[in-house]
Amino acid sequence: MLCLAHMKSSEIRQRFLKFFEKRGHAVIPSSPLVPENDPTTLFTGSGMQPMVPYLLGESHPLGTRIADSQKSFRTVDIDEVGDNRHTTFFEMLGNWSLGDYFKKEQIEWMFQFLTEEIKIDPNKLYVTAFMGDDKNSIPKDIESAGLWKKLFAQRGIEAKEIEIGSEENGYQVGMQGGRIFFYDAKKNWWSRAGVPEKMPAGEPGGPDSEMFYEFTDVPHDEKFGKFCHPNCDCGRFLEIGNNVFMEYKKNSDGTFSKLPKNNVDFGGGLERLVMAATNCPDIIRVNYQPIIEYIESACGKKYGEKSDETRAFRIIADHMKASVFLIADGVIPSNADQGYYVRRLLRRAVRFSDFLDIDKSILSEVVDSIALMYKDSYPEVYAKSSSIKNIIAEEENRFRETLSKGLKEFEKGTDAFTLFSSYGFPLELTLELAKEKGLNIDIDEFKKEFKKHQDLSRSGAEKKFKGGLADTSEMSVKYHTATHLLHQALHDVLGEGIMQKGSNITPERLRFDFSHGAKMTGDEIKKVEYIVNQKIKENLPVNKIVLPTAEAEKTGARHFFGEKYGDQVSVYYIGKDIQSAYAKEFCGGPHVENIGNLGTFKIQKEEAVSQGVRRIKAVLQ
Ligand code: ATP
Ligand code: MG
């Protein structure tokens, strides 16, 4: 299939930003891929992520209408790469109304942008809306549906509304000639916690309305379900954007009420908009052409001919672009944190180039074509390209030295930890090889060895909290427990809108950073101190429980939004049992056994660290 890029991504990006600028939006630059001042999450995975404080009520210095194109990296999508529409790195176009305009403007502008500005055929557009939630008395979003219906009618399209319900039901009932589809909260509801049931009191959320493009040349694949529908994963329908309408808040009695001010959050994948604007059902073909050509010349194979080779091309192309952008934002391949992901991407790219019979180092050469593609839109990538090349070349050469030996060891049945420590195989690479061969890998054994030998945990709160502790002296441990009390007390006094941004503990004091729009008043500080000291007087016990992550989330224990945890996490709770506990958090410890001897808690300082982030320094006297 040949795809002609009538409109390249740089043009669509520019048109989008201009379109919203003309409509009163301040255009802001992309935040880095590694969040600034936010040690709680590894990567920026959406345009919304850096905007969360403002969506929760903090005022944005540039006003109530904002637009941008945000570099995004999603580790969760790594296994999707190879299909026709997922990449780990992509740009997300976004626009926001912070208590300003709402559904009418947003939906009309979106329709106009898609059909007039980038000339997508409206006959190929489909939309979804929230079907309502009887249990929680949240009504069906007929307002959004009505707005879409009118816009389609203006283009001579009668937009029939179809009630689908769950995604699973979609496969049973199919399209039924519909244009506007109503889905349940799993598909068309947004809150930080997920569906309405999962939301804690005070949390905002709302329905969303998504837009899909239909590739009429891509036949439905029954492997995914009997009938196709917009949320089917076969590749015929492409989600191009999502309009979130934040209009509700959960009350403490579990009911929902309207927020005093509504927000709009739109996020749409730039590369997917290019696909729709060019009617090209292949995200790589239409956005990664120079990389594909380079790989073709290196291996003498043609992209698009054999499906397993095409998958390898796609993986290499994605992983290389993602690595280039991550390295440009300061991430260096390593065995921990963000660096681990770059290492994993690069080594995986090497393995798939091996699959294409490329036996010489070529990955660093690909950097030039990527840098050139983004010369105008991301000049810093271009400027840094020679040092990026060096970093990639070193990583590639090192891994190539051991790759073939490692593959032989794998065939012999060598354990995952040895493959990791002696041959540089990230665990996920071994798991993937095992899956291809239908073998099982003992992950627990790997983890045990991994811990024993290096004690490098690359994800989860455990490390983050340990990172916050200067040592594990008795005083540091006391301050650590006091930090949990403080965290909860801040929620009690300032509301559920605040979020932990970091913590640092020494035997002399605790330091705690959190998002909050305003300086705390003297009264608020006193209240927080009072609550913490009251709890200390109650001499509550501190307990730990290890649970599967999904179970742990259900306990309502605090954890970092967007953070990916392992299969099991430990939850520390302060109280007799987990239900009635005063404070609970995903945490690796250590903590005191009872809080009665913490002393008297005193806040010494409350100050700003950056826009919307406050810092508390406190002591136990
Ligand atoms: P999908 O179901 O296709 O994975 P999503 O529900 O994960 O999409 P959102 O989290 O709503 O997507 O992100 C907003 C938009 O970002 C999507 O509408 C899509 O256009 C784009 N997007 C999301 N994930 C990717 C990806 N892996 N590659 C390219 N674009 C993406
Ligand atoms: Mg997704």
Ramachandran angles phi, psi of 370, nearest 5°: -70, -45
Quickly count: other Cβ atoms within 10 Å of residue 335's Cβ: 15
- Residue 349 in this model has a pLDDT that exceeds 90: yes
Ligand 1 mean position, distance from CA 45 (Å): 10
Quickly count: other Cβ atoms within 10 Å of residue 521's Cβ: 11
Q: Which of 482, 506, 485 is nearest to 558 (CA)?
A: 485
pLDDT band at 589 (very low <50, low <70, confident <90, very high): confident
Instruction: For residue range 368-383, list pLDDT tens digits in order.
Output: 999 999 999 999 999 9
The torsion of the CA quartet 583, 588, 593, 598, rounded to 10 degrees, works out to -70
Look at residue 73 in the predicted model and tell me its pLDDT: 98
Ligand closest to CA 74: 1
Average confidence (pLDDT) over 171-185: 98
Instruction: For residue range 41-80, list pLDDT tens digits in order.
Output: 899 999 999 999 999 989 999 999 999 999 999 999 999 9
Average confidence (pLDDT) over 571-590: 90
Measured from the CA of 240, which atom of ligand 1 is nearest? 20
Higher pLDDT: 526 or 458? It is: 526
Measured from the CA of 208, which atom of ligand 1 is nearest? 11
What single letter denotes the amino acid at residue 239? E
Strand ranges (DSSP E) for 99-236?
A: 125-130, 161-165, 180-183, 189-191, 204-214
**Which tokens belong to 57?**
């009520």
Pocket flag, ligand 1, residue 612 (CB < 6 Å):
no
Domains, in order of start, for the chain: 9-284 (3.30.930.10), 290-412 (no CATH), 474-620 (3.30.980.10)
Ligand closest to CA 286: 1
CA nearest ligand 1 atom 10, residue: 46
Look at residue 97 in the predicted model and tell me its pLDDT: 98
Greatest CA span in the chain, whole angstroms?
74
CA nearest ligand 1 atom 23, residue: 269
**Which tokens belong to 76?**
């969760």
CA nearest ligand 1 atom 6, residue: 239
| pLDDT > 70 fraction of the chain, expressed in percent and rounded | 95
Give the mutation target among 239, 244, 286 for probing the ligand 1 site: most ligand atoms within 8 A of CB: 239
pLDDT band at 457 (very low <50, low <70, confident <90, very high): very low
Measured from the CA of 77, which atom of ligand 1 is nearest? 27
Average confidence (pLDDT) over 549-557: 85
Ligand 2 mean position, distance from CA 199 (Å): 21
Ligand 1 mean position, distance from CA 90 (Å): 9
Pocket flag, ligand 1, residue 240 (CB < 6 Å):
yes
Look at residue 545 in the predicted model and tell me its pLDDT: 87
Instruction: For residue range 234-261, list pLDDT tens digits in order.
Output: 999 999 999 999 999 999 999 999 999 9
Do residues 592 and 582 touch, judged by C-beta distance below 8 A? no
- Residue 174 in this model has a pLDDT that exceeds 60: yes
Look at residue 4 in the predicted model and tell me its pLDDT: 59
Higher pLDDT: 6 or 367? It is: 367
Give the predicted TM-score (pTM) of the model. Answer: 0.75
- Residue 455 in this model has a pLDDT that exceeds 80: no
Helices (H), 362-460: 363-373, 379-383, 385-412, 416-423, 427-437, 443-454
CA nearest ligand 1 atom 24, residue: 86
Look at residue 463 in the predicted model and tell me its pLDDT: 42
The strand order across the sheet containing 542-548 reads: 542-548, 568-574, 583-586
- Residue 462 in this model has a pLDDT that exceeds 60: no
Instruction: For residue range 84-103, list pLDDT tens digits in order.
Output: 999 999 999 999 999 999 99
d(CA 128, CA 170): 12
Q: Which of 195, 196, 193, 169 is nearest to 181 (CA)?
A: 169
Pocket flag, ligand 1, residue 47 (CB < 6 Å):
no
pLDDT band at 454 (very low <50, low <70, confident <90, very high): low
Ligand closest to CA 92: 1
pLDDT band at 559 (very low <50, low <70, confident <90, very high): confident
Ligand 2 mean position, distance from CA 77 (Å): 7
- Residue 18 in this model has a pLDDT that exceeds 70: yes
CA nearest ligand 1 atom 11, residue: 242
Ligand 2 mean position, distance from CA 386 (Å): 33
Rounded CA Rg of the chain? 25
Pocket flag, ligand 1, residue 91 (CB < 6 Å):
no
Ligand 2 mean position, distance from CA 492 (Å): 34
pLDDT band at 5 (very low <50, low <70, confident <90, very high): low
Look at residue 529 in the predicted model and tell me its pLDDT: 96
- Residue 365 in this model has a pLDDT that exceeds 80: yes
Q: Helices 416-423 and 443-454, interaxial angle, to 10°? A: 40
- Residue 588 in this model has a pLDDT that exceeds 60: yes
Pocket flag, ligand 1, residue 242 (CB < 6 Å):
yes
Look at residue 461 in the predicted model and tell me its pLDDT: 37
The secondary structure of 196-250 as a DSSP string is GGGPPTT-EEEEEEEEEEE-TTS---GGG-SS--TT-SSSSEEEEEEEEEEEEEE
Report in angstroms the alpha-carbon separations of 476 from 413, 468, 482.
Answer: 44, 10, 10
Measured from the CA of 239, which atom of ligand 1 is nearest? 18
Q: Which of 536, 555, 535, 534 is nearest to 544 (CA)?
A: 555
Pocket flag, ligand 1, residue 272 (CB < 6 Å):
yes
Report in angstroms the alpha-carbon separations of 200 from 203, 249, 534, 538, 571.
Answer: 6, 10, 24, 25, 18
Pocket flag, ligand 1, residue 92 (CB < 6 Å):
yes
- Residue 467 in this model has a pLDDT that exceeds 80: no
Look at residue 561 in the predicted model and tell me its pLDDT: 59
Instruction: For residue range 471-515, list pLDDT tens digits in order.
Output: 778 888 899 999 999 999 999 999 887 888 888 888 899 999 998
Look at residue 466 in the predicted model and tell me its pLDDT: 47
Name the percent of the chain in helix, strand, coil, to the closest 5: 45, 20, 35
Pairing of strands 180-183, 125-130: parallel
- Residue 185 in this model has a pLDDT that exceeds 80: yes
Ligand 2 mean position, distance from CA 588 (Å): 29
Look at residue 565 in the predicted model and tell me its pLDDT: 74
Average pLDDT, the chain: 92
Q: SS3 sequence, 570-606?
A: EEEEECCCCCCCCEEEECCCCCCCEHHHCCCEEEEEE
Ligand 2 mean position, distance from CA 74 (Å): 9
Measured from the CA of 46, which atom of ligand 1 is nearest? 13
d(CA 389, CA 316): 15
Ligand 1 mean position, distance from CA 53 (Å): 22
CA nearest ligand 1 atom 3, residue: 239
CA nearest ligand 1 atom 29, residue: 86
**Bridge partner residues of 513 (DSSP):** 502, 615
